[in-house]
């Protein structure tokens, strides 16, 4: 992999690219449920827990990381005596309910210079690995968003440099339509009137990869009875928010830039609108009028 970043940070990025290969190899072994629930009350897949262990155990050996927070853990893991003080936030497997039906899933990572209970704008790098027909890695270290593809030898090659989100007409709307709040309903109606095409897979990472390359908007909004939405601020919104923002788009909770929000706990959730600037401006305008 080629990129112009600090060597210690590059080492950590390479750690995740190597372990992405390991996680991919797990799909052949276990596609069943684990019989346990995570802190969000969601059923864990055996692979959710396994991928989490693989990454945590590997990170402990790097001596690069002081803080590890993952979607599958209830507390921040602090490692004493690291050589570097990085903090990492991880969704080990995103879209894991799709593993048993062989749809694209991914691993999402955000890297902080220190503690992870900080606004997303403090991240120094964010990346995701998407396990689809190809295994791809999308990365930003603040100098543009780049795509890499894994070849038959497990080596990642740069395939797209400095990606900018194009103008596009795709929308990926989560939540149940019957539970839409009024402002969100108006936003969706406006997109549909403009001829936006529906593309929602159940895998945030896969849907966002499509939005990054084809334009448009992903949303998992707040809805009736679930005003804070579903997706996780630390593990999903922030890393993907940094990537889409560095690609010229944005991420909002409908009112403000999500990357400016200081989390107060690792399990914070947030409504999400992520994609083109035009669409973000539209939802924020509609919500201001509400
Ligand atoms: P995870 O597999 O990490 O729990 O994340 C699932 C998330 C996200 O990937 C997706 O956009 C969303 O949940 C789908 O939720 P619904 O099943 O409610 O549509
Ligand atoms: Mn997820
Ligand atoms: Mn997950």
pLDDT digits (tens, 9 = 90+) for 52-104: 999 999 999 999 999 999 999 999 999 998 788 999 999 999 999 998 899 99
pLDDT digits (tens, 9 = 90+) for 14-47: 999 999 999 998 888 776 776 777 778 777 778 8
Q: Is the CB of 166 under 6 A from ligand 1?
A: no
Task: Among 160, 182, 213, identify where a domain stops.
Answer: 160
Confirm whether 27 is domain-assigned: yes
Residue 285, pLDDT above cutoff 90: yes
The stretch 269-275 carries a mean pLDDT of 98
Task: Among 160, 189, 208, identify where a domain stops.
Answer: 160
Query: Are residues 149 and 101 located together in one domain of the fold?
Result: yes
Domain at 249, CATH number: 3.40.190.80
Q: Is the CB of 94 under 6 A from ligand 1?
A: yes
* pLDDT score, position 209: 98
Query: Are residues 113 and 140 located together in one domain of the fold?
Result: yes
Give the residue from 244, 54, 22 showing the smallest Cα distance to 135.
Answer: 22
The stretch 209-231 carries a mean pLDDT of 98
Confirm whether 100 is domain-assigned: yes
Other beta carbons within 10 Å of 85: 13
The number of the ligand nearest the C-alpha atom of 71 reads 3
Range of the domain at 247: 170-289
> Count of domains in the chain?
2
Task: Among 127, 160, 193, identify where a domain stops.
Answer: 160
Query: Are residues 23 and 136 located together in one domain of the fold?
Result: yes
Q: Is the CB of 174 under 6 A from ligand 1?
A: yes
Phi, psi of 75 (to 5 degrees): -135, 160
Q: Is the CB of 95 under 6 A from ligand 1?
A: yes
CA atoms within 13 A on the CB side of 79: 23
The stretch 261-284 carries a mean pLDDT of 98
pLDDT digits (tens, 9 = 90+) for 155-201: 999 999 999 999 999 999 999 999 999 999 999 999 999 999 999 99
How remote is the C-alpha of 232 from its chain's centroid? 9
Question: Distance between CA atoms of 1 and 13, rounded to whole angstroms?
Answer: 10
Query: Are residues 130 and 185 located together in one domain of the fold?
Result: no
Question: Which pair of tokens denotes residue 228?
Answer: 């804070």
**β-bridge partners, 86:** 65
pLDDT digits (tens, 9 = 90+) for 96-111: 999 889 999 999 999 9
Question: Distance between CA atoms of 200 and 211, rounded to whole angstroms?
Answer: 11
The residue contributing the CA closest to ligand 1 atom 16 is 202
User: Ligand 1: which of 173, 236, 269, 274 to mutate, most ligand atoms within 8 Å of CB?
Assistant: 236
User: Ligand 1: which of 43, 104, 174, 177 to mutate, most ligand atoms within 8 Å of CB?
Assistant: 174
Q: Distances from the Cα of 25 to the Cαs of 1, 31, 53, 154, in angstroms?
A: 20, 12, 14, 11
* pLDDT score, position 5: 81
State the chain's mean pLDDT as an integer: 94
Other beta carbons within 10 Å of 225: 6
Confirm whether 2 is domain-assigned: no
Query: Are residues 56 and 184 located together in one domain of the fold?
Result: no
* pLDDT score, position 31: 64
Residue 249, pLDDT above cutoff 90: yes
Distance 87 CA to ligand 3 centre (A): 18
The residue contributing the CA closest to ligand 1 atom 15 is 202
Query: Are residues 30 and 147 located together in one domain of the fold?
Result: yes
CB 83 within 8 A of CB 221: no
Query: Are residues 11 and 150 located together in one domain of the fold?
Result: yes
Collect residues with CB below 5 Å from ion ligand 2. Answer: 91, 94
Predicted TM-score (pTM) of the model is 0.96
Question: Distance between CA atoms of 173 and 158, rounded to whole angstroms?
Answer: 30
Confirm whether 22 is domain-assigned: yes
* pLDDT score, position 160: 98
Query: Are residues 85 and 108 located together in one domain of the fold?
Result: yes
Give the residue from 155, 7, 154, 29 showing the smallest Cα distance to 86.
Answer: 7
CB 163 within 8 A of CB 147: yes
Confirm whether 236 is domain-assigned: yes
Residue 1, pLDDT above cutoff 50: no
Query: Are residues 122 and 222 located together in one domain of the fold?
Result: no
Q: Is the CB of 219 under 6 A from ligand 1?
A: no
Question: Distance between CA atoms of 39 and 26, rounded to whole angstroms?
Answer: 23
CB 23 within 8 A of CB 92: yes
User: Ligand 1: which of 70, 94, 101, 240 to mutate, most ligand atoms within 8 Å of CB?
Assistant: 94
Query: Are residues 139 and 244 located together in one domain of the fold?
Result: no
Distance 180 CA to ligand 1 centre (A): 17
Other beta carbons within 10 Å of 214: 16
Confirm whether 249 is domain-assigned: yes
Domain at 24, CATH number: 3.30.540.10
pLDDT digits (tens, 9 = 90+) for 46-57: 888 899 999 999
Q: Is the CB of 82 under 6 A from ligand 1?
A: no
Confirm whether 238 is domain-assigned: yes
Question: Distance between CA atoms of 31 and 52, rounded to whole angstroms?
Answer: 15
* pLDDT score, position 145: 98
Query: Are residues 93 and 147 located together in one domain of the fold?
Result: yes
Percent of the chain topping pLDDT 70: 98
Query: Are residues 213 and 150 located together in one domain of the fold?
Result: no
Confirm whether 1 is domain-assigned: no
């Amino acid at each position: 992999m080629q990129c112009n970043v600090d060597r210690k940070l590059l080492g950590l990025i390479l750690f995740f690219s190597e372990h992405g290969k390991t996680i991919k190899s797990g799909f052949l072994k276990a596609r069943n449920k684990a019989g346990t629930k995570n802190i969000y009350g969601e059923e864990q897949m055996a692979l959710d827990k396994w991928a989490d262990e693989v990454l945590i155990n590997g990170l402990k050996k790097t001596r690069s990381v002081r803080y590890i927070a993952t979607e599958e853990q209830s507390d921040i893991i602090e490692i004493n005596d690291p050589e570097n003080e990085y903090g990492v936030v991880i969704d080990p497997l995103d879209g894991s309910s799709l593993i048993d039906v062989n749809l694209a899933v991914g691993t999402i990572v955000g890297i902080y210079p220190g503690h992870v209970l900080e606004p997303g704008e403090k991240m120094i790098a964010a990346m995701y690995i998407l396990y689809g027909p190809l295994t791809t890695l999308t990365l930003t270290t603040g100098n543009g968003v780049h795509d890499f593809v894994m070849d038959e030898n497990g080596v990642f090659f740069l395939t797209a440099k400095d990606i900018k989100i194009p103008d596009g007409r795709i929308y990926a709307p989560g939540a149940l339509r019957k539970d839409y709040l009024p402002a969100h309903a108006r936003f969706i109606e406006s997109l549909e009137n403009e001829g936006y095409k529906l593309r929602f897979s159940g895998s945030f990472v896969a849907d966002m990869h499509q939005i990054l390359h084809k334009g448009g908007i992903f949303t998992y909004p707040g809805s009736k009875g679930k005003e804070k939405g579903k997706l996780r601020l630390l593990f999903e919104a922030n890393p993907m928010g940094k990537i889409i923002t560095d690609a010229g788009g944005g991420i909002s909770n409908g009112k403000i830039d999500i990357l400016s929000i200081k989390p107060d706990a690792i399990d914070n959730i947030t409504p999400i609108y992520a994609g083109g600037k035009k669409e973000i401006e539209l939802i924020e305008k509609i919500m201001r009028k509400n």
